[in-house]
Structure 1
Amino acid sequence: MIELKSPAEIQRMRVTGAFVAGVLAELRAKAAVGVNLLDLEQHTRSLIRDRGAQSCYWDYAPSFGRGPFRNTVCLSVNDAVLHGLPHDYALRDGDVLSMDLAVSIDGWVADAAVTVVVGTPDEADLRLVRATEEALSAGIDAARPGNRLGDISAAIGAVAEAYGYRVNTEFGGHGLGRTMHEDPHVPNRGKPGRGLALRPGMTLALEPWFASGSPRIVTDPDGWTIRSADGSRTAHSEHTVAITGDGPVVLTLPEGA
């Protein structure tokens, strides 16, 4: 069942989204050569605690993970792209770091992710990150009343194809609101004009993620961290978006943006 949100409820999600954006901005600034992933996790915990927010990841135990997840941010490095379990690892020059954060404030959730290149960037890695960011923008632009879910998926997939990346559809975007994962599932590849009709009040987390090589994935022994099957570099970008009568509104932007 898809729950349509009122303008007032969307505004409450926007408050959560601004907090998520602020935390990710701080993590982006802290992600430097020599910084340990566990330090980034501890900093995130402190920010969430000080705000009186709740982590959507803590104690999360879905069917695809070896739960419960006992951290507050997903930190995925290089060939890891999703659900990266923070662990004792100091970032190295040239590492590609994806950071994914979902938080609830006063019962309303927002979810976003960014990918950064630590230290000296490689142009191929920057190109990969840029592709996910452009795909996210294309997906957001398609999130309009009168369009269909397939229009979002097709827009994301078209950017991947233009860059020469193949798309994995096992994990993608999703609805959210009172909980982190709600209907519908939003694949990162699809056909325009197909699927669910988009309506004002729908709130979606759009999250294109690509690998520079094979789209196949494997899961680490930790039961959570998902990697490209061939060890190729990966990147992930995500925003929470509300569909309104005036078009898409990105809810995970810094306050005042």
Structure 2
Amino acid sequence: MIRPSNYRPPELKSAHDLALMRQAGILVARAHKICRDMARPGVRTIEIDQEVEKFYAAHGATPLFKGYPGRVPFPAVTCLSLNEEVVHGIPGQRVLKDGDMLKVDTACRLNGWCADRAITIPIGTVRAERLRLIRVSEEVLQIAVDELPRRKWWSEVASRMQKHAESNGFSVVTSYVGHGIGRAMHENPQVPNFVNRETRKHDFKLEPGLVLAVEPMVNMGKADVTTLRDHWTVVTRDGLPSVHVEHTLALTTEGVMIITSDEGAFDPDPPIVAPVPHPPESGLSPA
């Protein structure tokens, strides 16, 4: 495989590094619970963001989104994106309504290590096809969890993720990708949720110590997106809904450790969650 001259291999993390990342991941999981508990009709998105900001401050964590550089620095600690908004939605005075789909993306750094996660929350009574879009998108992310220990190259995982979304009649956004993560929120490698000629040129080997923020964005309609005049909010061009889900995943010799898992995160003294065991080959539905 030919690599570009500026290519740098991903930095592999030790077990000690992963333990520290898990502590950041626990805070991110708890931040998402705050969002789930607040996400109901009549609530303004800025109210949710303010509570998450207070939570991070109370636990000595640094929110990674607020002030993130761009044409305009990102102004909030969460990306809150509704319905046709795919990602990078800015919290504000918009009020949640019955039938909405709210995408929540947030990340923090704790003791020098980062964790990043996104979920999609149905608000009130949501139409069946929108719920199916959420379910399939979560299955796409689960495929990454299941397949990481089995495959040699990331493209093998990404192709299965893409196939599952498309076989259900949806499309995968190809304008944005996931990323390596560790001491910085964005590290090598780039982590696409799809495969094409360009991504194959930058494929990477799967090996213990690799930590990836895997974040499929799945559209009900076409994959085409555009960015609004606020310079951040990405929306579908056809105006149809989109779902964004994400976990920070660490590949270990024993399987996958979900750094941002809810499991154990709400215990009085949350433990470090053990890696997910290598699943049996027959345990995955065809993607």
TM-based fold match above 0.5 = yes
Distance of 1:250 and 1:230 partners within structure 2: 34
What amino acid sits opposite 1:75 in the alignment? L
In structure 2, runs of 5+ residues without a counterpart are 1-7, 266-270, 274-287
Distance of 1:146 and 1:231 partners within structure 2: 36
Distance of 2:107 and 2:49 partners within structure 1: 13
Correspondence for 1:253? 261
Change (3 A) 1:227 1:50: same
Moved more, 223-232 or 167-176: 167-176
Correspondence for 1:207? 215
Correspondence for 2:251? 243
Q: Write the deviation string for residues 24-43 of structure 1: whole angstroms up to 9, x where unpaired.
A: 01111110000000100110
Asked if 1:168 is matched to 2:173, the reply is: yes
What amino acid sits opposite 2:34 in the alignment? E
Q: How much has 1:221 moved relative to structure 2?
A: 0.9
Asked if 1:39 is matched to 2:47, the reply is: yes
Aligned structure 1 segments of 4 or more residues deviating by more than 4 angstroms: none
Larger radius of gyration: 2
Q: Write the deviation string for residues 73-103 of structure 1: whole angstroms up to 9, x where unpaired.
A: 0000010011111111110110110000111
Task: Identify the match of residue 132 of structure 1 among 137, 143, 147.
Answer: 137
Correspondence for 1:51? 59
Q: How much has 1:3 moved relative to structure 2?
A: 0.8
What amino acid sits opposite 1:58 in the alignment? K
Distance of 2:149 and 2:179 partners within structure 1: 16
Q: How does 1:31-180 map onto structure 2 within 5 Å?
A: 31-61=39-69, 65-144=70-149, 147-180=152-185
In structure 1, runs of 5+ residues without a counterpart are none
Task: Identify the match of residue 224 of structure 1 among 232, 239, 246.
Answer: 232
Distance of 2:93 and 2:132 partners within structure 1: 28
Q: How much has 1:115 moved relative to structure 2?
A: 0.2
Distance of 2:172 and 2:31 partners within structure 1: 28
Moved more, 137-146 or 5-14: 137-146
- Matched-pair identity in %: 37
Moved more, 1-10 or 151-160: 151-160
Please tell me whether the aligned partners of residues 76 and 90 of structure 2 are also in contact (alpha carbons under 8 angstroms): yes
Please tell me whether the aligned partners of residues 151 and 157 of structure 2 are also in contact (alpha carbons under 8 angstroms): no
Please tell me whether the aligned partners of residues 91 and 118 of structure 1 are also in contact (alpha carbons under 8 angstroms): yes
Correspondence for 2:241? 233
What amino acid sits opposite 1:224 in the alignment? W
Q: Write the deviation string for residues 127-149 of structure 1: whole angstroms up to 9, x where unpaired.
A: 11111100000012122275211
Please tell me whether the aligned partners of residues 99 and 113 of structure 1 are also in contact (alpha carbons under 8 angstroms): yes
RMSD value, Cα: 1.3
SS at match of 1:161: helix
SS at match of 1:71: coil
TM-score (norm 1): 0.95
Distance of 2:151 and 2:245 partners within structure 1: 25
Task: Identify the match of residue 26 of structure 2 among 15, 18, 37.
Answer: 18
SS at match of 2:172: coil
SS at match of 2:125: coil
